[in-house]
Amino acid sequence: MLYITGDVHGEITRFVEPEVPSKTWTGADTLIVAGDFGCIFGLKMDEQKLDFLESLPYEIAFLDGNHECFPKIYAYPEETWRGGKVHRVRHNVRHLMRGQIFEMEGLRMFTMGGGYSIDVGMRIPGLSWWPEEMPSREEYEEGLSNLEKAGNQVDFILSHAAPIGTMNYLKEIGVFQYLFPQERPLGVYLEQIAGDVSHRHFYFGHIHMDRELPDNRTALYHAVYCLNTGERIR
Ligand SMILES: [Fe+2]
């Protein structure tokens, strides 16, 4: 079965089975992280964290967010997995690249990682912040081209950042105040895709809240949803 959760920020306890007491994880399960995976950060602890993740009985597939060490992620071998491009980190840990369409268990999902770091002023370039956090024009275009090839029809759109319409809505209802112009192109792109591409549900992370939203959109943080059933299991 396929599951999705939000920002992990390197906290590997998030992958420990007891956090989802109602479920036993097996090799037939994949847990997708909607960005800010944070377990590859150019730190000594990275390998220990990845060793732990590799010991788990299920597959882990992460979109990148904004808080990632992109040069380290991009150094892993690139390969095709379930129809889209990934970086293979460990035998059961993969980075789902931007603008790809993956087909898993008969479900098609479009991925677009990346986002803007609102705390960039407190971060050090090359140590705790990397400029690749926002998607490039090529990545946006590759996404549009892959969607077109798929007949603009997927089951799920998965991103780290939120579509601009959702950001505006959250601001209107007083739940989330931050709208950064630096992230606007990504939010506009995601909103355009949501309008143009037939999909069942849109999941994103980034804003650190678990909330079901209008237009079949869900903000993810610690919650875990089953993509096959739509049910929240944590
Ligand atoms: Fe985050």
Q: What is the pLDDT of residues 89-107, one digit of tens each?
A: 999 999 999 999 999 999 9
Residue 7 Cα to ligand 1 middle (Å):
5
27-67 per-position pLDDT tens digit: 999 999 999 999 999 999 999 999 999 999 999 999 999 99
| Confidence (pLDDT) at 44 | 93
Please check whether residue 39 lies inside any domain of the structure.
yes
206 C-alpha to ligand 1 centroid (Å): 5
d(CA 159, CA 182) in angstroms, rounded, equals 17
pLDDT over 80 (residue 17): no
Name the band, by pLDDT with cuts 50, 70 and 90, for residue 120. very high
Q: Mean pLDDT over residues 164-184, rounded?
A: 94
pLDDT exceeds cutoff 90 at 199:
yes
Contact indicator for 171, 179 with CB cutoff of 8 Å: yes
Question: In this structure, is residue 189 part of a structural domain?
Answer: yes
Residue 117 is assigned to a structural domain of this protein? yes
List the shell of residues around ion ligand 1, using CB closer than 5 Å: 7, 36
Residue 234 maps to a domain:
no
Mean pLDDT of the chain: 96
Beta-carbon contacts of residue 79 (< 8 Å; ≥ 6 apart): 85, 86, 88
CA of 205 to the centre of ligand 1 (A): 7
18 pLDDT band, cuts 50/70/90, is low
Predicted local distance difference test score (pLDDT) of residue 26: 93
pLDDT of residue 179: 87
Q: Does 233 fall in a domain?
A: no
CA of 196 to the centre of ligand 1 (A): 27
**What range does the domain containing 124 cover?**
2-226
With 0-12 CB in 10 A as exposed, 13-18 as middle and 19+ as buried, what is 13? exposed
Q: How far is the CA of 115 from the centre of ligand 1 (A)?
A: 9
Q: Which pair of structure tokens corresponds to residue 159?
A: 């991103």
Total of domains in the chain = 1
142, pLDDT greater than 70:
yes
CATH number at residue 16: 3.60.21
d(CA 149, ligand 1 centre) in Å: 31
pLDDT digit string, tens, across residues 122-132: 999 999 999 99
Q: pLDDT > 90: what percent of the chain? A: 94
Which residue bears the tokens 């920020």?
9
> By percentage, how much of the chain surpasses pLDDT 70?
98
pTM of this prediction exceeds 0.75? yes
Distance 35 CA to ligand 1 centre (A): 7
Q: Can you point out the beta strands (E) in the chain?
A: 2-5, 30-34, 59-63, 78-81, 84-90, 93-96, 100-104, 107-112, 156-159, 201-204, 211-213, 217-219, 224-226
Identify whether 41 is part of a domain: yes
In a domain, 232, yes or no: no
Q: In angstroms, what CA-CA distances link 223 with 102, 169, 171, 218?
A: 22, 21, 22, 10
Q: Would you say residue 190 lies in a domain?
A: yes
Q: What is the pLDDT of residue 10?
A: 97
d(CA 37, CA 183): 19
The alpha carbon of 67 and the centre of ligand 1 are apart by a number of angstroms equal to 7
